[in-house]
Structure 1
């Protein structure tokens, strides 16, 4: 089941594992990394914060969206955090700081990302798994669920 910020977060009565898709937004590209993960891990509950109207939300709607993201991050069993090479990703950097020491975070950060040195150092300090590409991260994600 896929949940977006338009959905009420579930109470996990079926003990189903869940994944939060954090990271750079790529809705302007074909072949979204999020769609790839949803296709491959669709048997799990997936929290996808993608909101194509994000830049046009009013204050009340934005607050609701942010609170949904924070609640979904906390509720999730695993967080897949993907930094795309040409993105700034300020919210993703905040999410990294919030969950780097949680033991439920898997990070993808290519060397081309403008803050890759910082991200890699932070992950190494807290023994958070970090990969240069999504293919490597998927293997760990499968084994972690």
Structure 2
């Protein structure tokens, strides 16, 4: 099941594992990487998807509610899968990296083409955070 910020977070049950799908927003020209993860891992996990298509039009109250949902969802997740797309700037994703790099729940996908890849990889190495150059390799690890 996929939970979004349009719905309340579920009550976490001990037999359920949750993945928070952090990372770059897919553009209209790219494949939706979040759907790839959900389709590949649907039998093993529940998903927390922060995607908000019209996030730039939210008023201050709506944005606060959305950000708080994201923070609560990341905290409840067993795994935070953070995917940097090659051509994205991803400022929020870089913040999420900083929040979770020193935990045991973060898995990072960072292709060499991402403009801050050397920074991301160095930070992840420092804190022994698993890093992958492709989404496929991360999915294989989480299977």
1:50 and 2:71 are equivalent in the alignment: no
* Runs of 4+ displaced beyond 6 Å: none
Matches within 5 A, 1:55-74: 55-74=56-75
Count the aligned residue pairs.
142
TM-score by length of 1: 0.94
Supply the distance in 2 between the matched residues of 1:95 and 1:34 (Cα, whole angstroms).
16
Q: Identify the residue that residue 13 of structure 2 maps to in structure 1.
A: 13
For the residue of structure 2 that corresponds to 1:80, the secondary structure is strand
Q: Identify the residue that residue 87 of structure 1 maps to in structure 2.
A: 88
* Deviates most, 8-17 or 106-115: 8-17
TM-score by length of 2: 0.95
Q: Identify the residue that residue 124 of structure 2 maps to in structure 1.
A: 123
For the 8 Å contact 1:24–1:82, the answer to whether it is kept is: yes
For the 8 Å contact 1:109–1:116, the answer to whether it is kept is: yes
Q: Identify the residue that residue 29 of structure 1 maps to in structure 2.
A: 29
For the 8 Å contact 1:106–1:141, the answer to whether it is kept is: no
- Report the aligned-residue RMSD: 1.1
